[in-house]
Chain A
Amino acid sequence: MSDNPTKAAAVPVLEARGIAKAFGPVEVLTDISLRVMPGEVHAIIGENGAGKSTLMKLLSGHLQPTRGTVAMDGEPVSFAGPVDAEHRGLVLVHQEILLAPDLTVAQNIFMGRELKRGLMVNDREMNRQSAEAVQSLGADIDPTTQISRLSIARRQLVQIARALQVPHRVVIFDEPTASLTPFETEALLKVIRDLRDKGVAILYISHRLPEVGAIADRITVLRDGKLIATREASELQPVDMARLMVGRDMSKLYPEREDTASHQNVLEVQNFDVPGYARDASFTLRKGEILGFAGLIGAGRTELLEGIVGLRTGHGEVKLNGNPVKFKTVRDSMAAGIVYLSEDRKGKGLLLAQDLRTNLTLATLEKFTRGPLIERKREDNSLDKAISDFDIRARRRDLLAGQLSGGNQQKLLLAKMMLLEPSIVIIDEPTRGIDIGTKEQIYKFISDLAKTGKSVIVISSEMQELIGICHRILVMRSSRIVGEVTGEAMTEDEIVVYATGVKINEAELYSAGNA
């Protein structure tokens, strides 16, 4: 982007010079120095709470550093706010979806900078450009669709498309692929490579280490608010990254797979329909089995399972331990020993503005009441037990659920649902937005559930995770269960073929950068 390539190569477009950030007496970030060059993808990795997001907010004008300076092109700058930073060509793509749900894709992409023809907005042109922008991200979304009708993954793509409409020299991606399927991820990585080749500097935050290895030129590791290392990506294998992040050796992410699945069917689903989402689904779940549901976002996995447990309208035959059952509401399925943990932890799993105790006992309050009265003492005991059983790390017991890290929120949600003493646990995207250390704990927990004779259904867009922990994987495509893989056949290639309907060699082309 610069007229003078030699100068551009020498001077970092964005630089942090010993910046620190304290909230009250607590310093969450200490003396971070970082140089981002034009035309490089600089990845920032670290566990949850390592300070990645805070660093990004400092660099993009959302927060002001308590010490140190931010510099662009070698000159110290002080952003008045994110808009000021945008004017200087620095764009942050947020992890959270910040779109108006009732407006269309195009209206959102151009919100605040609508194209006009005379006094009127030029919808046709905005729709055309939006379609183009979205297509360049590898998605096919009608620009006149309302945001509320899109899946989370697609909303994220729209958000990225919106951010890239601003003239940019530095783009910061905060966990952009957390809810994307491998296809969508691959398309996004391609967009990022294109940006880089045009000389744009990219800061890339992610938990997905293989992906970081595939895209980054340099990698900076944060731990406990400190910069641990900045290395050339070629020097670091994912294992090394994990070790630097966690500060210890990552022995093995997935627990030893044990053949805990028995031959006894606990759940049999026949010809189940969820109007608009799932058609004619049939499958069985065995006692002690971990069954995976793979597929692209929007394939209908979440909706199928929500339909079965009574969270959505659905029709079909469901047998629990051989007896026909019909769950009209989720309360019925809970009573029958089936729990469903939503992929949307913040929106459907936990009350973010309430404390841990309230959240923990919400689904099982009747167990904590005598007469009409809630027994707070027993709730507190239960919270103590949950904190130790599930290793929930909260610095104070009266924290709000929203103040926990993603990993600890997931543990709290697990603890909440396990109070229902289920025999079948359905977990939707169990490790989305969760750091590696916690992931390992959650895999171990799922495996232990199966060992104690419980059955688990895992819905996930991370194929490696399904392959790592499941006994058997069902693949959905366009509302139908199209395949089943098990044993040796549980490979990403095999799953992608079913999930996309694309032949193996084509799929390899796509998933090559994604292994």
Chain B
Amino acid sequence: MTDTKTITDTRGFGRKLADLDKTAVAPFLALAALFVLGALVNPNFLSIDNLLNVLTRSSFIAIIAIGATFVISAGGLDLSVGSMAALVAGIMILFLNSGAIDGDMAMLATGIVVAIGVGALAGLLNGAVITIGKIEPFIVTLGTMAIFRSVTVWLADGGSIAMKSIAMRNMFRPVYTGVFLGLPIPVWVIIAAGLLGAFILYKTSFGRHVVAVGSNEDVAKYSGIHVNRVRAMTYIIQGICVAIAVVVYVPRLGAATTTTGMLWELQAITAVVIGGTALRGGVGRIWGTICGAFMLEIVGNIMVLSNIVSEYLIGAVQGTIIIIAMLVQRTLQKKK
């Protein structure tokens, strides 16, 4: 509005503090608070083993939520990720069981490629229907959520799809249980996916376009950005992230069931929101998202360790968290 050259130096530090984007810092403060709470509830909580274990278990949601960060930053929403995970896992295992290629290693490698291909295709389906059909993402992905889940149940004949080859299971298992340089493999996958996601979102023109489309679609259009292409691409990225999560998930149990990925969409969206990404689009925070996924798993861990609240209520707690997170986000934004 008016010039503010007259700010005195003594206020410099306070001003810097005030300038810090509170929505960006909030998730990390909340994480620190959870650490304190965890330590109070059970001294074991802060052990490296327990924390690494929690981090490992948060990997599926963290990786999926990285994709969701793209979708939501661009002003979209994907409710189908949980069902998509089940479908991708099912198809991947069916392929691994088919014995189409000689050699277990080659089979596994091809299986991973197949999983990623299926994930990308499922994402493309969401993106294409949303952009070409001009339908609300909420409705489209609600529909594909049902479709993916149903096809998985059909493929599993109502039961589960399990990896048949014991040799292949043993070969695949380290992807979940293995440790490299002191960190579990799934943690490395989170780090890699996070670095790649942050690079794409913050450093490339595509990432800039994602934020522009989420910020204001008209401005993006008038600036010559292919809005539909950008939006569709975010859903493809989401699909690929789901597939990567599946590649980490399948070796854990070696099977996909009709309940695989149940409520993952809730957890992924919650992780994104508590991570500071704006649900209306225009702001994306990859590291906040990962922090959010970690927090969700810690809450579950504390519930298990403490016996104060039944762990059967974990869904209720997570549902409460997303609502509180939205309230906090709104309050912080108002103060800005």
Contacts and interface: CB of A to CB of B under 8 A. Distances in A.
Do A and B make up one complex? yes
Nearest to A393: B3
Interface in B168-218: 200, 203-206, 208-209, 211-212, 215-216, 218
A347 B218 contact: yes
A348 B222 contact: yes
A51 B219 contact: no
A351 B216 contact: yes
Contacts of A358: 208, 211-212
Interface stretch (B4-12, B106-114, B118-126): B4-12
B310 interface: no
Interface residues of B, number: 31
A315 interface: no
B2 interface: yes
Given A28-B2, A340-B222, A347 B216 contact: yes
B4 A365 contact: no
A171 B260 CA distance: 62
A347 B221 CA distance: 11
B203 A373 contact: yes
A25 B8 contact: yes
Interface string A392-407: 0001000000010100
Given A28-B1, A51-B2, A330 B205 contact: no
Given A351-B215, A353-B282, A363 B206 contact: no
A26 B6 contact: yes
B211 A354 contact: yes
A349 interface: yes
B221 A311 contact: yes
Contacts of B7: 25-26
Interface of A is mostly: mixed
Given A347-B216, A354-B215, A225 B2 contact: yes
A34 interface: no
A365 B221 contact: no
B224 A363 contact: yes
A432 B48 CA distance: 62
B205 A351 contact: no
Given A28-B1, A342-B222, A362-B223, A369 B216 contact: no
A395 B208 contact: no
B225 interface: yes
A171 to B, nearest CB: 24
Contacts, number: 93
Given A25-B6, A331-B224, A348-B222, A365 B208 contact: yes
Contact of B219 (A348, A365, A368): A348
Contact of A26 (B4, B203, B282): B4
Nearest to A334: B224
Contacts of A421: none
A350 interface: yes
Nearest to B202: A374
Contacts of B219: 347-351, 362
A36 B141 CA distance: 58
A366 interface: yes
B9 to A, nearest CB: 12
Contacts of B224: 329-331, 334, 363
A453 interface: no
B11, B209, B216, B223: most-surrounded residue (chain A CB, <10 A): B223
A392 to B, nearest CB: 14
Contacts of A416: 223
A334 B219 CA distance: 15
Nearest to A341: B222
Contacts of B226: 329, 331
A362 B225 contact: yes
A508 interface: no
B211 A395 contact: no
A403 B204 CA distance: 26
B319 to A, nearest CB: 29
Given A25-B8, A348-B222, A354-B212, A49 B1 contact: yes
A352 interface: yes
A247 to B, nearest CB: 14
A349 B222 CA distance: 7
B1 A405 contact: yes
B222 A311 contact: yes
Given A26-B4, A26-B7, A351-B215, A362 B208 contact: yes
A366 B221 CA distance: 16
Contacts of A330: 221-222, 224
Interface string A205-238: 0000000000000000000110000000000000
Interface in B266-283: 282-283
A224 B3 CA distance: 9
A225 B309 CA distance: 58
Interface string A11-29: 0000000000001011010
A374 B200 CA distance: 10
Contact of B212 (A51, A349, A362): A362
A372 interface: yes
Contacts of A329: 224, 226
Contacts of A349: 219, 222
Interface of A: 23, 25-26, 28, 49, 51, 54, 224-225, 311, 329-331, 334, 340, 342, 344, 347-354, 358, 362-363, 365-366, 368-369, 372-374, 395, 403, 405, 416
Q: Sorted from nearest, which 7 A-B pairs have the closest CB atoms?
A: A365-B205, A363-B223, A331-B224, A351-B215, A28-B2, A348-B218, A372-B204
13 contacts: A25-B6, A225-B2, A311-B221, A340-B222, A344-B218, A349-B222, A362-B212, A372-B204, A373-B203, A374-B204, A374-B208, A395-B4, A403-B1
Interface of B: 1-8, 11, 200, 203-206, 208-209, 211-212, 215-216, 218-226, 282-283
Given A25-B8, A26-B7, A358-B211, 8 more contacts: A311-B221, A329-B226, A349-B219, A354-B211, A354-B212, A362-B212, A368-B205, A369-B205
